[in-house]
């Protein structure tokens, strides 16, 4: 039985992935390296800021003048906030989908590789923050996706005031990247992929249902996934 839906954020609720890409390069270009767009979507999308900057440092792609990972994360967050206020927006179909779930009394949560400040900035600006009972961000978990920790934490928070609690196999996760789908599977949850960031062929093998837009999903589709 369907009892909860947990969303990824970037690429599912908002199209801010391109803002992350731009702000990463605003930082890294100062220290001798720029991430190509194709490489970003192939190798970095879905990873936390810490993971990206740590990887670039470990691979020695940044010159010796590059500051600490923590300092680059701080700078990137400030730049992202500025761009998000000017350009961040909600993907078409999301509002109607969220309203459909709310009308059917389905609890909602977010599990994202973005920072909480970044998530709340966009949700509050779009007046969607009250839709979600729980939000798990990159700065709240030790292991990001594809580890299941974030999804399990989101479920724990949804269950904080519920008795009996929601089980993992009563949750549907909506993702746009294979890292997230792998994490959802590891958490024992059902999976829906939306092709906002990757092609159908890349996501379908990991997802029980794959769609172009959340508007393509009906409540009965999600209920069927949970049997």
User: Using CA atoms, how far apart are residues 181 and 150, in angstroms rounded to an integer?
Assistant: 12
Partner residues linked to 175 by β-bridges = 193
What mean pLDDT is reported for the chain? 94
| Residue located via tokens 């949970």 | 226
Predicted pLDDT of residue 88? 66
Domains in the chain: boundaries: 4-15+89-225, 17-87
Tokens describing residue 11: 């690429």
Predicted pLDDT of residue 42? 85
Predicted pLDDT of residue 205? 97
Predicted pLDDT of residue 5? 98
**Which stretches of the chain are assigned E, i.e. beta strand?**
4-7, 108-111, 134-136, 171-175, 190-194, 209-211
Q: What percent of the chain has a predicted confidence (pLDDT) above 70?
A: 100
110-146 pLDDT, tens digit per residue, is 999 999 998 998 899 889 999 999 999 999 999 999 9
Q: What's the maximum distance between 2 C-alpha atoms anywhere in the chain?
A: 55
Is the predicted pLDDT of residue 47 greater than 90, yes or no? no
Predicted pLDDT of residue 58? 94
Phi, psi of 171, rounded to the nearest 5 degrees: -110, 145
**SS3 call for 43:** helix
* Tally of CA atoms within 13 A in the half-sphere of 147 that contains its CB: 11
Q: Where is 45: in which H helix or E strand?
A: none
Predicted pLDDT of residue 16? 81
Phi, psi of 135, rounded to the nearest 5 degrees: -135, 120
What does the angle CA 79 – CA 85 – CA 89 come to, to the nearest 5 degrees? 115
56-82 pLDDT, tens digit per residue, is 999 999 999 999 999 999 999 999 888
Residues 6+ apart with CB under 8 A from 224: none
Mean pLDDT over residues 190-218, rounded? 96
At the fourth CATH level, the homologous superfamily of domain 4-15+89-225 is HAD superfamily/HAD-like (3.40.50.1000)
Q: Where is 53: in which H helix or E strand?
A: helix 49-58
Predicted pLDDT of residue 97? 98
Is the predicted pLDDT of residue 25 greater than 70, yes or no? yes
User: Using CA atoms, how far apart are residues 56 and 47, in angstroms rounded to an integer?
Assistant: 12
Predicted pLDDT of residue 86? 75
143-189 pLDDT, tens digit per residue, is 999 999 999 999 999 999 899 999 999 999 999 999 999 999 999 99
Protein fold of 17-87:
DNA polymerase; domain 1 (1.10.150)
């Amino acid at each position: 039985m369907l009892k909860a839906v947990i969303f990824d954020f970037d690429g599912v609720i908002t199209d801010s992935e391109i803002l992350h890409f731009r702000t990463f390069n605003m930082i890294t270009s100062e220290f001798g390296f720029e991430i190509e767009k194709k490489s970003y979507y192939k190798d970095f999308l879905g990873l936390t800021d810490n993971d990206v900057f740590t990887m670039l440092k470990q691979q020695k792609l940044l010159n010796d003048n590059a500051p600490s990972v923590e300092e680059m994360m701080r700078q990137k967050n400030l730049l992202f906030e500025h761009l998000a206020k000017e350009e961040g927006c909600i993907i078409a179909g999301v509002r109607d989908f969220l309203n459909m779930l709310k009308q059917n009394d389905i609890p909602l949560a977010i599990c994202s590789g973005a920072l909480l400040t970044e998530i709340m900035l966009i949700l509050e600006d779009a007046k969607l923050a009250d839709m979600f009972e729980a939000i798990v961000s990159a700065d709240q978990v030790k292991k990001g996706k594809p580890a299941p920790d974030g999804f399990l934490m989101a479920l724990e928070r949804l269950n904080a005031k519920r008795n009996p609690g929601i089980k993992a196999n009563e949750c549907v996760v909506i993702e746009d990247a294979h890292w997230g789908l792998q994490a959802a599977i590891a958490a024992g949850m059902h999976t829906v992929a939306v092709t906002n960031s990757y092609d159908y062929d890349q996501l379908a093998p990991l997802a029980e249902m794959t769609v172009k837009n959340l508007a393509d999903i009906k409540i009965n589709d999600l209920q069927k996934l949970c049997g």
